[in-house]
Amino acid sequence: MTVSVDEFMQQTPAKSRGKPSPLRPFEEQIKILRGRGYSLQQIVTFLQSNGIHSTVPTVSSFIRRHLEKDRPVKSRKRKAKAAA
């Protein structure tokens, strides 16, 4: 017996993913600041001036999880080994 996705969702409530990030309302501003070369520390200072307590590691993690997800991954080019 198989269960469809719709049936499963009706029978099983989704688990909460935790509370939303307090940085989420500032996502666009963070993206703009980072795009214009502002450091993570400067972004933390911006957030603090808007009443949001944050740290450099928190902002860095937020950027990786939310803002860099659509960015293409750069591939590394390896140098060909010289013949021995």
Residue-wise pLDDT tens digits, 12-43: 888 877 788 899 999 999 999 999 999 999 99
Report the pLDDT value the prediction gives residue 18, as an integer from 0 to 100.
Answer: 78
More confident position, 83 or 68 = 68
Task: State the chain's mean pLDDT as an integer.
Answer: 86
Band the pLDDT of 78: cuts 50, 70, 90: low
pTM over 0.85: no
Residue 27, token pair as written in the block: 């996502």
Integer angstrom CA distances of residue 73 from 16, 23, 48, 69, 76: 30, 24, 31, 9, 10
